[in-house]
Amino acid sequence: MTSLVIQTAFLGDVVLTTPLLVALATRHGPVDVVTTPAAASLVETHPAVRRVVPYDKRGGDRGWAGLRDLGRRLRAEGYERAYLPHRSLRTAALAILARIPVRIGFHDGWPFFYTEVRRHPAEGHEVDRLLALAEEPSAAYAPSLHPTAEDERAAAAFLAGAGIGEGARFVAIAPGSIWGTKRWPHYRALARRLAGVPVVVVGGPEDAGLGEEIVGAVNACGKLTLRQSAALIGRAEVLVTNDSAPLHIATAMGTPIVAVFGPTLPEFGFGPLRSGDVALGVDGLACRPCSRHGPPRCPLGHHRCMRDLAPDVVATAIEEARALRRRD
């Protein structure tokens, strides 16, 4: 009987849930996944996934009626058990509406609605915390994504069109974030500092303006699908990113990472996972960190957690990551 995983959090959270999907697929066979329309395309090609059910909780499926309709559709599938990594009331309610007899969730979610409650670790990387839902040791599983051969071809064709041929080295930059204070303001200066190295800016259509500001870079924002963007990131020598979804996509694609942290800390559990990757931030700032997610605007007005991180520091980390990669 197929298991269902309901994960409708942000894109990065869905990528960090892929180790849990693999662990569950190893135990029960490929799982079905309810996730956001944005994340659906990213996991629908994953071998641990049998079927993806998009849930547009802010659009076509919004409100009680949308939740009830989806619950009815899921009920028809006769799922035996549901894993609920997202600790929202909506997620718990959906599993109940789908009449799934075994509902496994975390103690700090809505335990009254679960039939099996797992302790949610307060510490550690988010990958490990999510794997606790399956009571699995973390070391065996890492985030993974599977762009198709067609996605790879599209990424290669885009790069070739920008003068970056097959196998050519380039640095990818992901300057966007939903949260304003997580956006490092010096990417333009960084690109200037990297003169001579091809730079490709990745992101969604909403990041296209940020991409235009980075003079001399190839702007891929909004020009590729999410999986094609993952394929492009997989071809980069290194990805430079804020504390946002592209960081986790690069982890899943095996691309070295230089990550810039401002109002948040890697210790929150969303930093790079591999030992060679780099997380940079401003030390000794009394206000840092100031929130779990990063506020839209700096409450103190100066945004020093990001502004004080100099482009030279980031450029040096990129050069070191590139040198390491060349030695591999």
Which residue ranges make up the site for ligand SF4 (CB under 6 A)? 181, 262-263, 285, 287-290, 298-300, 302-305
Structural Rg of the chain based on CA atoms: 20
Q: How far is the CB of 302 from ligand SF4 (least distance, A)?
A: 6
Cβ-based neighbours of 22, under 8 Å, separated by 6 or more? 48, 141, 144
Q: Which is nearer to ligand SF4, 51 or 297 (CB)?
A: 297
Q: How far is the CB of 287 from ligand SF4 (least distance, A)?
A: 3
Q: Which is nearer to ligand SF4, 107 or 302 (CB)?
A: 302
Q: Which is nearer to ligand SF4, 50 or 288 (CB)?
A: 288
Q: Which is nearer to ligand SF4, 194 or 306 (CB)?
A: 306
Q: How far is the CB of 277 from ligand SF4 (least distance, A)?
A: 22
Rounded Cα distance, 78 and 32, in Å: 12
Q: Which is nearer to ligand SF4, 10 or 184 (CB)?
A: 184
Q: How far is the CB of 285 from ligand SF4 (least distance, A)?
A: 6
Q: How far is the CB of 309 from ligand SF4 (least distance, A)?
A: 11
Task: Judge whether 170 and 236 are in contact, CB under 8 Å.
Answer: yes
DSSP string of 159-213, one letter each residue: HHHTT--TT---EEEE---SSGGGS-TTHHHHHHHTTTS-EEE---GGGHHHHHH
Which has the closest alpha carbon to 316: 189, 194, 187? 194
Q: How many helices (H) and strands (E) does the chain have?
A: 13, 12
